[in-house]
Amino acid sequence: MANFPFDIIGFDLDGTLLDTHRDLAEAVEHALGDGGCTPMAVDHAKSLIGGGAKLMLAKAIEEQGGLPEEEFRKLYKHMLAYYGQYCAVWTAPFPHASDVLATLHERGVQLAVIRNKFEGFARNILNQLGLMDCFKALIGGDTLGKGRAKPAADPIIAARDRCGGGRMAYVGDSSWDVAAARAAQVPVVVAGYGYNDKPAGDLDGDAVIDSLVELVPLLESW
């Protein structure tokens, strides 16, 4: 469809395209166990997601009183090693994700993933799910270097450049996503079904969707 209003759509991964919370929770649990900490309920992981794996683990440990920096670094390494092996055991696309990606591709839209966790993990997950070929660009929290992940505008701008430029919109589920989109002057859709760090309507997005099935009609109306 030639008249689609956007050339590029960027997506956050965790809580937006993919339901990743169980695999992330089990990686955090592994690290907590190594540190002798109290186990965490799997569903509680949803409230910790956002800002990258290091911040997620830091939040979980802080809830239990914290640890010295040296011990935290050791547990963080254990978490990353575990997640690297088991990052796609339970992870799956949210309902309608594959159809939405296919529809956008049919309309000639370039697609990008922009997440704060490591690029290598995202690439591994997307390859295991057979989705990597859908995306022209993949920007992780480590792709551009220290200090250049969301909420900075840099990853969204980099994704836009790697997709050839043009009018872009972004879809995410957290305040980190909205802040990055605002900084890049890109319209942002909030995934209200995701791992919102505050009520979806309070995230200051341009619109909120309760399911990915709503995304394409919304974008077509802009």
Q: DSSP string covering 171-184, please?
A: EESSHHHHHHHHHT
| pLDDT for 1 | 44
Q: Can you name the residues that pair with 209 across neighbouring β-strands? A: 191
Q: Which fold has domain 8-19+92-220?
A: Rossmann fold (3.40.50)
What span, in angstroms and rounded, lies between the C-alpha atoms of 170 and 146? 22
- Mean pLDDT per 10-residue run, the chain (222 residues)? 87 96 91 85 81 86 89 93 95 98 97 95 96 97 95 98 98 97 98 95 97 98 96
Q: Give the relative orientation of helices 154-162 and 175-183 as an angle to the nearest 10 degrees.
A: 70
Rg of the chain's alpha carbons, rounded to an integer? 17
Contact status, residue 147 vs residue 113, Cβ threshold 8 Å:
no
Class of the domain covering 21-85: mainly alpha
**Structure-block tokens of residue 99:** 């159809």
pTM to 2 decimal places: 0.92
Which single residue is written with the structure tokens 């109290």?
38
Contact status, residue 219 vs residue 9, Cβ threshold 8 Å:
yes
Contact status, residue 60 vs residue 38, Cβ threshold 8 Å:
no
Contact status, residue 219 vs residue 4, Cβ threshold 8 Å:
yes
DSSP 39-56: P--GGGGGGT-SS-HHHH
Query: What positions carry a catalytic annotation?
Result: 12
Question: Hey, where are the domains in the chain?
Answer: 8-19+92-220, 21-85
What is the sign of the dihedral through the CA atoms of 181, 185, 186 and 190? Answer: positive
| pLDDT for 41 | 79
